Amino acid sequence: MPMEGRSLFFVVGRDGPPDNAVNSVGGTIVARLGEPRQALAVAPLAAHSQLRLHPRLRQAGPITINPQKFGQFAQMLGLDTEQDP
């Protein structure tokens, strides 16, 4: 069934980094999360089931960024304040 749009996915590789599996469905790794097997990827929404059932991935699920919580996190790290040169 055709689906439109792209989504942010949280992917966990089974035995190694999930790069090849994500690339095979037309996605791209955009960030690593701690260990190399865990990453954030942007991929077509239609690839959801392919990613979920991919033999080289232990897990894949669409995620969103909660702006309120991420804002609090950025504030805690001081990332939201402008630094004078």
Partner 1 sequence: MASVGQELLDVPLPDMVTKLALGIAEAQAALDENSVETALTLADTTIEVVPALTQTIAAGGAISFEAAAPVEMSLLQVGLNPTFYQFVESSIEVTMDIKTTTSRETNIKVGFKAKVGFAMWSSSVRVDVQHNRKFQKEVRGTSRLFVKMAPVPPPPRIFPEVTVIDQRPPAPPPAPDNP
Q: Is 24 in the site for partner 1 (CB under 8 A)?
A: no
Binding mask 66-85 for partner 1 (x = CB under 8 A): xxxxxxxx-xxxx-----x-
**CA distances (Å), 75 to each of 10, 51, 66, 84, in order?**
23, 33, 14, 17
Report the nearest approach of partner 1 to the CB of residue 66 (Å). 4
Rule CB under 8 A: say whether 23 interacts with partner 1: no
48 burial class (0-12, 13-18, 19+ CB within 10 angstroms)? Answer: middle
Give the contact letters, 25-64, x = binds to partner 1 (CB under 8 A), - = no.
--------xx---x-x-----------x------x-xxxx
Phi and psi at 45, nearest 5°, equal -60, -30
